[in-house]
Amino acid sequence: MTKSLFDGGYVKVKDYPKEKPKIRRYSVLPARAVQDASIHPTSFKVLAALCIHTNGHGICWPSQITIALHLGVSKVTVLRHIKRLIKLGYIRKLEPKKYPWGIIQKGRRPTNRYQVMFGADDPLPTKEQFLAPRASIMDIDYGIKDGKVSTVDDADNKKGGLGDGNKDFQILAHTFRTAVERTSGAVRLADSSFQTAARLHQLGVTAEQVRESTTAMVKDGLRTGRAPPMTLEQVARWAGLYKKGG
């Protein structure tokens, strides 16, 4: 038994993970908070932690325990500063996030869902924005090599990939990636779609066709409760792009 940061009492050590949650490589924070002298430093950190979990429309639903683990503070502290952020107009509390269909959540309330307010008068999110999935944690690390940060092109040109001198087909893969992110907030990697992109490029499929088909598939998925496509191959089969070339 040991004292926990999270409830002020004594709990078993195994009840909470010891490691901090994984994070994305970047997040977007309301710039106005940087110059706001009225915001408490801990409130600012809670806001920043919430922003790690937002989808492309500023909606997030991390648990208070997750935020507490990010910052090494108690759940009570997180709750106090969330209330301050709501009062200051930096976040808006929305309807809680329900568990996915077919999954029973035993003995727990639905997770709170928040809207990060980039402007003081931001409108309520649309249903599509409200239901958009959050961006996944990017598990690829481009790292530093020979004194410089490697770029997307560096990653594309890795041995065994399709990142050769012909960049035309890669535009289709990056168009797919951008369309998914802008429509749903989910992050996808272009290089996993290079093979499909090369095939579609040979068939004469255009970037506009890829953009329209990807956007349509993502929106259809949002309406029916499906996750956004992981690769361009899924879009190509769903939209019949192999038959639309030229």
* pLDDT value, residue 158: 40
Residue with tokens 């290089």: 191
Q: By percentage, how much of the chain surpasses pLDDT 90?
A: 38
Q: What average pLDDT does the chain have?
A: 77
Of 9-13, 67-71, 103-107, the one with minimum mean pLDDT is 9-13
* Residue among 42, 74, 54, 70 nearest 114 (CA): 54
Note the pTM of the prediction, 2 decimals: 0.51
User: Looking at the predicted structure, is the pLDDT value of residue 12 above 70?
Assistant: no
Q: Label residue 27 left, alpha or beta by phi (over 0 means left) and psi (-120 to 50 means alpha).
A: beta
* Residue 96 · residue 190 · CB < 8 Å: no
- The Cα–Cα gap between 127 and 72 comes to 34
Q: How confident is the model at residue 136 (pLDDT cuts 50, 70, 90)?
A: low
- Bridge partners, residue 148, by sequence: 145
- Enumerate the domain spans of the chain: 2-131, 144-243
User: Each residue of 156-175: pLDDT tens digit?
Assistant: 344 334 444 456 788 999 99
What are the Cα distances from residue 101, in Å, to 53, 54, 184? 21, 22, 19
Please indicate whether residue 27 or residue 145 has the higher confidence score (pLDDT): 27
- Supply the pLDDT for residue 102: 41
Assign a CATH topology to domain 2-131.
Arc Repressor Mutant, subunit A (1.10.10)
Amino acid residing at 119:
G
